[in-house]
Structures are given as structure tokens and as C-alpha cells.
Amino acid sequence: SFPNIIYEIYNEPLLTPWSTIKDYAQHVIPTIRSNGSPLSLIIIGTPFYSQDVDSVISAKLDTAIYGNIAYTLHFYAASHGDELQAKAQLALDNHIPIFVTEFGTVPADGDGQIDYESSTKWISFLSKYNISFCN
């Protein structure tokens, strides 16, 4: 009954294919919706640490059935550059709503310096496409 709650289901699937994640979401989302959250945003994890957001393109969930949903993208600026942004761009080009629920300015292993240049590029990308993010 709190519309300001954001649900993130299946955080950072590692070796789980999109078909399995999608099946899980198709079972979990109706439960969330029927228990007082008909309008809340539900963010669905994507394969390989929520980096393969492009894997959703050919089999996204129907928003007419599942409502207010988006797909998770995670990045670490010092580790993930143009290749991951290209995946995100491809997803956006195919009308996949993206929400960044985890990111960092350092390498993905947390060991290293802040990559200011890549971090700025990522924040500019998110701003350009109005992609919401939180951490």
C-alpha cells in the first residue's frame, strides 16, 4: 500500500539465462501486485551481474500484464566502458526501460582508483537518456 516502494527482484543473476529470470518474474510480480503494490516500480535483474540488459530485447515482459517494470543495469566505471554502454544503448533503442540500481566509480572488484573520465561518461549517458539510478 506504499506506492513509493521500489522492488528489485533477482539481484545480479550470474549464470542464469534470461528465460529463467523471466519465468521467475512472471511468478513473483503478480504476487507483489496482489499484495498492495499495484503501481509500484518493479525492477527485474538481468543476466551476468545485471549487465546483459540487451538479453531482454527479444523476450521482454508485457507491461500491459505486469505493469510498471524496468530492467536492471549495473556498472563500475573503471571496468565497464563502451561495450556495456553499447548493450544499454541497444536495449534503449528497442524500448527496454532501464534502471541502474548499482554502480561504482572504481573497478568492479573495488580495488583501485576512481576513474573520473569513465564515471563522467557514464553519468552523461544516464542523464542523456533519463535513466534513473540509485546506489
- Do 53 and 46 meet the contact criterion of CB atoms below 8 Å apart? yes
**Residues 46 and 73 sit within 8 Å (Cβ to Cβ):** yes
CA dist 125 and 86 (Å) reads 11
> How far is C-alpha 88 from the geometric centre of its chain's CA atoms?
9
Residue closest to 97 by CA, chosen among 88, 106, 105: 88
117 has catalytic annotation: no
Contact 91, 58 (CB under 8 A): no
Q: What do you get for the CA distance between the two ends of the chain, in Å?
A: 24
> In the beta sheet, which residues pair with residue 69?
42
Query: Which candidate in 8, 12, 83, 117 is catalytic?
Result: 12
Is residue 102 annotated as a catalytic residue, yes or no? yes
| Active site residues per annotation | 12, 102
